[in-house]
Structure 1
Amino acid sequence: MCSLLRSARALATTVSLAFIFNASSVLADVPQAYALTDIGSLGGYSVPHSIDESGRITGYSYTAGGIRAFSWTQSGGMINLGSLGNDKSMAYDSNEAGTVVGTSIVNGQYRGFIWNAASGMSAVPCPPAATCSARGINSQGVVTGYTQIPGGPYRPFRWSGGELLEYLPTLGGSQGYGAGINADGMVTGVSYTADPLPHAFVSNADTQLTDLGSIDGTTSYGKAINSQGHAVGYGADLGNKSAFFWSPELGMVPLGTLGGPNSYAKGINSADIVVGQSQTRTRATGFVWSAATGMLDLNEMLLGDTGYFITAALDINDAGQITAFGKDSYGRIRTLQLTPVY
């Protein structure tokens, strides 16, 4: 019964959103199909996290020396970004200038990093003993993420270069986490309220936070934000999880699922096209969503018989390119680029 209620609500939401977006003349087209490219790995399997406006994909891959952050471009292939020490590294985001941010684990301690081709990898200036992760970077090179002094709360930050982090406040609770940032410096992530409950937030260009609320009155988590300040993520919904879209005009809108109990939105572009992962009745699959079409299974939109199965879509750029991961015909985990075909 809960599944039927979520499906009915998702259908009603799609119809109402399509009407609103049509009225605003900003309704985006979803392509008829996607051409799939396997971008390879650094030796073992690889997992992506982001695709920027230049088409660069970042993530991490298993190598003979351990897990390493990578940056991939069509012209240059996959590059091992190294690490800050003797342990693993993972890239989470990049911008059109080729600057990459992520986390490197050094002797068991998580340290945020920033990387570019000219100077290589360096640490974000978090407190020396703190846990630190850099999660998002915008076109101006402003970084967001979170840090924790041992024994203290996690704190979301914004960093524009230099020696000091700009800490963001919380929604009344003790801690928060920065996840995504847009070109205007608006950050989305999760912050605890006074209740305390984790709620998705959007900051303005300063440090004021907007509580995005929740679907069922409990929890929500912000993952990505676009140039319009619209955010996506996921939240509790009737005992399960539902992907959501949020804008100041519409508030938090649940996107439903592809027939299973849970869905998670991971990325959004400037046309308000959303990607993520949803469960069907049998397994997890990657999805693309727009107000015009609702949620679509990416595996049903691949051009030709690829031999791949997409498990999750992680990000989408303004050209409509998607990065995803899944399995090939041998069952190996692969990082994929999906290029729209209209």
Structure 2
Amino acid sequence: MRRLLTALLTAPLAATLATGTPATPAAATARQYTVTDLGTLGGLSTEVYDLNDKGVAVGRSLTADGELHAFSWKKGRITDLGTLPGGHYAEAHGINEDGVIAGTALNAAGEYRAVIWRHGRITDLGQGRSIGWDVNDHGQVLVSRVDQTGAQSSRLIWQNGTVTELGPENTYATTVGKINNEAKVLMLFRDQPGGQPYLGYQQYGSTSGFGPIGGTGTNYPNDIANTGIIAAYSTDDQGHTRPATYPLGPVDLGTLGGPNGNATAVNDNGVFAGLADAADGTSRPVLWKNRQIIDLTTRGLTVDEMPVGINNRGQMIAAVNYRAAFIS
């Protein structure tokens, strides 16, 4: 997760949220980006999930032996983070500014365990069958316990061996795996079994939920900044999937003239990354910044790159056809 800024919103984003005015296309006379393939651990595929302000990216990658291992990447070098003793699987989901990495690994008994990597060493958090989702700059790790089928059963925050229980994972509430520096945990809620899910967050014992743009559809949260701003998508009254931000709103961030979009990431400066349809029907990687939408295919990216994270320096990570990229 990224550092907490003192202001809740930057002035340009605050103006956007206050007026509800969609972003307008930006002139293509600014920063050009370089796309760097992260490589693999010897196999054919890599998935990237998070990065910090130091430009360290984490995720999972296939090894030459066909195992999925957690990795970290920095300045062109990919590193296998290793697994628990006797285990053959690990993935890294989140990294904080101190370089602590949260994730999940199999132990020798074949059970999923929430783990952290710190200074190159892996530690089982001692929560039984569990998934390690994310870690904030205070060292708070978001964990879901899972049952024998792999279904999430409860969620908690682990910090230096102390556990804070957050409640059961069930039809009515489940985490989507993100925690910020205020200990706000991104959630999906339902008011009744079979009801439409809607996004929100939990902060210890309190919860807040937010409806879709259209009022009767659905929405889904992708990321939360340390300021509390949420990047999401939401359906509108026409059934289109729109890029959206919460909790002030919902605000439709706008597209490149097409019907659909998705805000997949947000940083503490109020800059969003994601995808937006153009008028010709293509889905393109974009930024939403200062009430403008930037088509990143005019800045060095292709339609194959899908941004999934952005740090406070404006560096991004992206999924690219079973591979992963660092964008700077």
Q: What TM-score do you get using the length of structure 2 for normalisation?
A: 0.79
Q: CA deviation at 1:309?
A: 5.0
Counterpart CA distance in 2 for 1:71 and 1:115 is: 10
Change in CA separation of 1:105 and 1:223 when aligned onto 2, cut-off 3 Å:
farther
Match of 2:270 among 272, 278, 286: 272
Q: Say if 2:319 is the partner of 1:335.
A: no
Paired position in structure 2 for 1:319: 313
Paired position in structure 1 for 2:113: 111
Match of 2:134, as an amino acid?
G
Paired position in structure 1 for 2:159: 160
Counterpart CA distance in 2 for 1:31 and 1:186 is: 34
Match of 2:89, as an amino acid?
K
Are the counterparts in 1 of residues 17 and 251 from structure 2 also a CA contact under 8 Å?
no
After superposition, give the CA deviation of every residue in 1:1-59 in whole Å (9 maximum; x if it has no partner).
xxxxxxxxxxxxx997187599xxxxxxx953223333322223322111112111111
Count of matched residue positions in the alignment of Structure 1 and Structure 2: 300
Q: Which runs of 5+ in 1 are unaligned?
A: 1-13, 23-29, 328-332
Change in CA separation of 1:108 and 1:213 when aligned onto 2, cut-off 3 Å:
farther
Equivalent residue of 2:34, what SS?
Answer: strand
Counterpart CA distance in 2 for 1:174 and 1:19 is: 31
After superposition, give the CA deviation of every residue in 1:305-328 in whole Å (9 maximum; x if it has no partner).
x8x65431011111111111325x
For structure 1, which segment, 90-99 or 149-158, has the greater mean C-alpha deviation from structure 2 after superposition? 149-158
For structure 1, which segment, 50-59 or 146-155, has the greater mean C-alpha deviation from structure 2 after superposition? 146-155
RMSD of the alignment, in Å? Answer: 3.2
Map residues 287-326 of structure 1 onto 2, 5 A cutoff: 287-294=286-293, 296-302=294-300, 310-326=304-320
Match of 1:48, as an amino acid?
V
For structure 1, which segment, 60-69 or 85-94, has the greater mean C-alpha deviation from structure 2 after superposition? 85-94
Match of 1:51, as an amino acid?
L
Counterpart CA distance in 2 for 1:18 and 1:213 is: 16
Are the counterparts in 2 of residues 146 and 176 from structure 1 also a CA contact under 8 Å?
no
Change in CA separation of 1:18 and 1:292 when aligned onto 2, cut-off 3 Å:
farther
Counterpart CA distance in 2 for 1:325 and 1:62 is: 15
Q: Say if 2:225 is the partner of 1:226.
A: yes
Counterpart CA distance in 2 for 1:146 and 1:220 is: 22
After superposition, give the CA deviation of every residue in 1:320-339 in whole Å (9 maximum; x if it has no partner).
11111325xxxxx4322222
After superposition, give the CA deviation of every residue in 1:173-197 in whole Å (9 maximum; x if it has no partner).
5331142122222222323333633
Paired position in structure 1 for 2:16: 17
After superposition, give the CA deviation of every residue in 1:94-134 in whole Å (9 maximum; x if it has no partner).
0121111122355765432211224x2223333x3x4x322
Q: Which runs of 5+ in 2 are unaligned?
A: 1-12, 22-28
Equivalent residue of 2:82, what SS?
Answer: coil
Match of 2:253, as an amino acid?
L
Counterpart CA distance in 2 for 1:21 and 1:271 is: 18
Q: CA deviation at 1:275?
A: 1.0
Counterpart CA distance in 2 for 1:199 and 1:123 is: 32
Q: CA deviation at 1:160?
A: 1.7
Counterpart CA distance in 2 for 1:191 and 1:108 is: 31
Change in CA separation of 1:263 and 1:319 when aligned onto 2, cut-off 3 Å:
same
Map residues 35-74 of structure 1 onto 2, 5 A cutoff: 35-43=34-42, 44-65=44-65, 66-74=67-75
Equivalent residue of 1:164, what SS?
Answer: strand
Counterpart CA distance in 1 for 2:118 and 2:152 is: 30
After superposition, give the CA deviation of every residue in 1:164-213 in whole Å (9 maximum; x if it has no partner).
3522478x953311421222222223233336332211233x32111022
Are the counterparts in 2 of residues 176 and 189 from structure 1 also a CA contact under 8 Å?
yes
Counterpart CA distance in 2 for 1:45 and 1:68 is: 11
Are the counterparts in 2 of residues 191 and 198 from structure 1 also a CA contact under 8 Å?
yes
Paired position in structure 1 for 2:100: 99
Match of 1:320, as an amino acid?
G
Counterpart CA distance in 2 for 1:20 and 1:80 is: 47
Match of 2:146 among 127, 145, 148: 148
Paired position in structure 2 for 1:10: none
Counterpart CA distance in 1 for 2:112 and 2:255 is: 34
Counterpart CA distance in 2 for 1:163 and 1:174 is: 26
Counterpart CA distance in 1 for 2:16 and 2:39 is: 38
Counterpart CA distance in 1 for 2:269 and 2:82 is: 34
Change in CA separation of 1:225 and 1:37 when aligned onto 2, cut-off 3 Å:
same
Counterpart CA distance in 2 for 1:115 and 1:177 is: 22
